[in-house]
Amino acid sequence: MQRNMDLVRDLLIRLEALPIGIGEAHMLMVSGPPLVLAGEDANEVFYNMRLLANAGFLDLTDGQPALGFGIKGLTWQGHDFLDSVRDPDIWRRTKEGAQKAGGFTVELLGDLAKGLIKTQIEKFTGVKL
Q: In CATH, what number is assigned to the domain containing residue 58? A: 1.10.10.10
Query: Residue 55: which of 96, 119, 121, 109 has the closest Cα?
Result: 109
Model pTM above 0.85: yes
pLDDT of residue 30: 86
pLDDT of residue 64: 65
Residue range of the domain that includes 31 = 5-75
> How many domains, the chain?
2
Instruction: Say whether both 26 and 64 belong to one domain.
Output: yes
Q: Is the residue at 80 inside a domain?
A: no
pLDDT of residue 95: 94
Is the backbone peptide bond immediately before 33 cis, with ω within 30 degrees of 0?
no
Q: Is the residue at 82 inside a domain?
A: no
Q: Is the torsion defined by CA of 96, 5, 20, 35 positive or negative?
A: positive
Q: Is the residue at 92 inside a domain?
A: yes
More confident residue, 68 or 57: 57
Q: Phi, psi at residue 63, to the nearest 5°?
A: -85, 125
Instruction: Say whether both 12 and 36 belong to one domain.
Output: yes
Query: In the structure, what pLDDT confidence band is assigned to residue 42 with cuts at 50, 70 and 90?
Result: very high
Cα–Cα distance list, 99 to 3, 61, 92, 107 (Å): 15, 35, 11, 15
Taking only the tens place, the pLDDT of each residue in 65-117 is: 677 899 999 999 999 999 999 999 999 999 999 999 988 889 999 999 999 99
